[in-house]
Amino acid sequence: MDTPTTILLLAVGSFVICALLLVFQRHKDAAQRIPFLAPAKFLQGAGSLVLYLRGPFPDVLTVALGNTPLLLGCVCEFWAAAHLADRPVSRRAQLAMTACIVVACLAVCALPPVLRPVILFTGHAGLYLLPAWVLLRDNETGSLLRRTLGVSYALLGGLFLLYSLSRGFGDGGEPVLLGLPLEMLPGTGAYAMMLVGACSMLLLAKERDDDALERTRQSLSRTEAQYRQIVDTALEGILSLDAEDRVTYVNARMAALLGFAPEELLGKRIDAFIAPEHLPAHAAHMAVRRKGGDAVYEICGVRRDGEKLWGLVSSKSVMGADGTYQGAFVMFTDITTRKTMEAALEQSNRSLAVLTRTDGLTGIANRRHFDAALTLACARHDCQGAPLSLIMLDIDHFKAFNDLYGHVEGDACLRRVGETLTKTVVGRGCLVARYGGEEFACVLPRTDLAAARQAAQRIRLAVRALAIPHAGSAAGDRVTASLGVVTWAGTAPASPRDLVARADALLYRAKSSGRDCVVCLEIGETAAPARTDRETAD
């Protein structure tokens, strides 16, 4: 094959490969394309075509118009090889190399004709040795394809350099190597390189992408393993649910909190572990989650052994591209200890509240509670106008009882009287309280004088019925009580202080009237005279 035919085949082949590259890489992502390779083949084809058609043009124009695109195509091929070797050439270096080639080709035109081939073929040799150096250097992956392509570029660069040296230092005859004219070797080598170079680069690009994909896959596997280890060893319970709220993943902490092995929980519905009384609240949160909403809430679960498990739930909905609910990612924080402490604190507060309004000796309401209840009853009387009654009670000769029987028996007596008052005075809103010492008080809302008198008589008789011996009493041989009853029946505002003062005065009238009796008084628009009632009971 003669040199012109070789050059023509180079031109046609370069254009064909350029077209195939454009078609092949058209639908590829930018990361999967080989930059500069298609322009390299186009420039090489254009330069080869100019050299083939050199007849009509002067030799100087042939040098400028033919070799300039050829050399630019070679440098583009070097840039493509550098990209595949992960050593891309910077934009500044590309501009500098392009400018050097153009200036060098124009400068060669000024040289004598005998020196032009030497300089041009030396340039070709250098531009083919560059990709060989890039491909063979630091071949960390040990790619055989990369090594083969580098060696091929090195051999082609060597042929061009050998031909250049033969033209520069030869005797003027036609040099021969291995029985072939030496001037045919560069063209033949370039033609062979054209056939295998583009395919090799495409294969190398695929190999590079495969390696990158494998590295990415390995990195993702390592990352997934790290995240799984983090999730599995997390102090929080973590689980994922599918669209039917079945468990698809659960970490060891969550499984341990529920008392199961992780594999035992897979496929089970999450509501199977919710306390029955919390299922409605759970269903409400699930409805929000199915609409794509996230939620943070407290819920009570049930362990395998039946024990309750309180948790703070933080849920994140997973929605599909079409907006449908795909599942959820749930984080569960064990707050059982906190809830237990809160319950204990609440119970303690309730107990403290009871203590603050309960008399420690008798167990009935204390003076503080009585004052608050009477104030509230007066306020209701002012709003509603219903009658309000107050009973004040005093145990007769209680000091003598203590002096005779001792304070222990005196305390027992007070307790029994308090119990009796609680059993005797029954009614909505009624309150029995220890007013102080041996004095007791009963608040009777919405109670008229007749009902209050009856209640006082029942109390007096019930205290006598206790039959607590009292040898030191002038009112009899047993413990008795004197009572003062006041009923506020008028529409005028009731005063707690006035009510207590009047009831206390009536109580002292009962004590001065011989004790063991009831003195009543009704306060209305016109005050009625006080009435003293006494009945005998065995």
Which range of 24-28, 147-151, 162-166 scores highest in mean pLDDT? It is 147-151
Place of tokens 């494998």: 214
Average pLDDT over residues 248-274: 90
Higher local confidence (pLDDT), 163 or 410: 410
Which range of 78-87, 109-118, 219-228 scores highest in mean pLDDT? It is 78-87
> Are the beta carbons of 79 and 94 closer than 8 angstroms?
yes
Burial of 499 (0-12, 13-18, 19+ CB in 10 A): buried
Q: Residue 289 has which token pair? A: 């989650």
Higher local confidence (pLDDT), 522 or 225: 522
237 bridge partner residues = 332
Q: Where are the alpha helices (DSSP H) in 233-275?
A: 252-258, 262-265
> Are the beta carbons of 433 and 357 closer than 8 angstroms?
no
Per DSSP, the three-state class of 364 is coil
**Per-residue confidence at 194, pLDDT binned at 50, 70, 90?**
low
Q: What are 101-107's contacts with CB under 8 Å, separation 24+?
A: 101/68, 101/71, 101/72, 101/75, 102/68, 102/72, 104/71, 105/63, 105/64, 105/67, 105/68, 105/71, 106/64
Say what the pLDDT of residue 191 is: 63
Say what the pLDDT of residue 228 is: 67
Tens digits of residue pLDDT in 395-421: 999 999 999 999 999 999 999 999 999
CATH topology of domain 237-340: Beta-Lactamase (3.30.450)
Burial of 393 (0-12, 13-18, 19+ CB in 10 A): buried
What is the number of residues in the chain? 538
Say what the pLDDT of residue 444 is: 95
Q: Where in the chain is the domain with CATH 1.20.1070.10?
A: 3-217
Per DSSP, the three-state class of 330 is strand
Q: Does pLDDT of 1 surpass 60?
A: no
Q: Look at residues 57, 56, 47 and name the one whose alpha carbon lies nearest to residue 14.
A: 47
Q: Residue 66 has which token pair? A: 């033919």
Element (H, E) at 334: strand 325-334
Write phi, then psi, for 536 (nearest 5 degrees): -100, 135
DSSP 472: T
From 204-213, 383-392, 405-414, 467-476, the region with the lowest mean pLDDT? 204-213
Higher local confidence (pLDDT), 348 or 388: 388
- Which residue type occupies 313? V
Q: Look at residues 191, 136, 185 and name the one whose alpha carbon lies nearest to residue 159.
A: 185
Higher local confidence (pLDDT), 24 or 452: 452
Q: Look at residues 325, 301, 328 and name the one whose alpha carbon lies nearest to residue 312.
A: 301
Cα gap 153→157, rounded to integer Å: 6
Q: Does pLDDT of 92 surpass 90?
A: yes
Indicate the CATH number for domain 357-533: 3.30.70.270
**Per-residue confidence at 369, pLDDT binned at 50, 70, 90?**
very high
Q: Look at residues 41, 212, 220, 75 and name the one whose alpha carbon lies nearest to residue 143.
A: 212
Percent of the chain with pLDDT over 90: 33
Cα gap 94→88, rounded to integer Å: 10
> Are the beta carbons of 310 and 257 closer than 8 angstroms?
no
Place of tokens 């004790």: 515
Residues 6 or more apart whose Cβ sits within 8 Å of residue 345: none
Q: Does pLDDT of 429 surpass 50?
A: yes
Higher local confidence (pLDDT), 252 or 461: 461
Q: Where in the chain is the domain with CATH 3.30.450.20?
A: 237-340
DSSP 396: T
Average pLDDT over residues 127-138: 84
Average pLDDT over residues 505-528: 85
Tens digits of residue pLDDT in 175-184: 544 444 555 5
Write phi, then psi, for 131 (nearest 5 degrees): -65, -30
> Are the beta carbons of 516 and 396 closer than 8 angstroms?
yes
Q: Looking at 366-449, which runs of residues are DSSP E strands?
A: 388-395, 431-436, 439-445
Q: Bin 259: left if φ > 0, else alpha if -120 < ψ < 50, else beta.
A: left
Q: Where in the chain is the domain with CATH 3.30.70.270?
A: 357-533
Average pLDDT over residues 320-324: 87
Q: Where are the alpha helices (DSSP H) in 170-241?
A: 184-232
Tens digits of residue pLDDT in 100-115: 988 988 888 888 877 8
Say what the pLDDT of residue 382 is: 87
Q: Residue 218 has which token pair? A: 């390995």
Q: Does pLDDT of 206 surpass 70?
A: yes
Cα gap 448→452, rounded to integer Å: 6
Q: Does pLDDT of 160 surpass 80?
A: no
**Per-residue confidence at 451, pLDDT binned at 50, 70, 90?**
very high
Say what the pLDDT of residue 439 is: 96
Burial of 424 (0-12, 13-18, 19+ CB in 10 A): middle
Say what the pLDDT of residue 535 is: 44
Three-point CA angle 268, 270, 274, nearest 5°: 125
Average pLDDT over residues 157-177: 65
pTM of the model: 0.47
Q: Residue 85 has which token pair? A: 């070797």
Q: Does pLDDT of 526 surpass 50?
A: no
**Per-residue confidence at 58, pLDDT binned at 50, 70, 90?**
low
Q: Give the CATH architecture of domain 3-217.
A: Up-down Bundle (1.20)
Residues 6 or more apart whose Cβ sits within 8 Å of residue 512: none
Say what the pLDDT of residue 373 is: 94
Average pLDDT over residues 504-514: 94
- Which residue type occupies 113? P
Say what the pLDDT of residue 145 is: 78
Tens digits of residue pLDDT in 269-295: 988 999 999 999 888 888 888 888 888
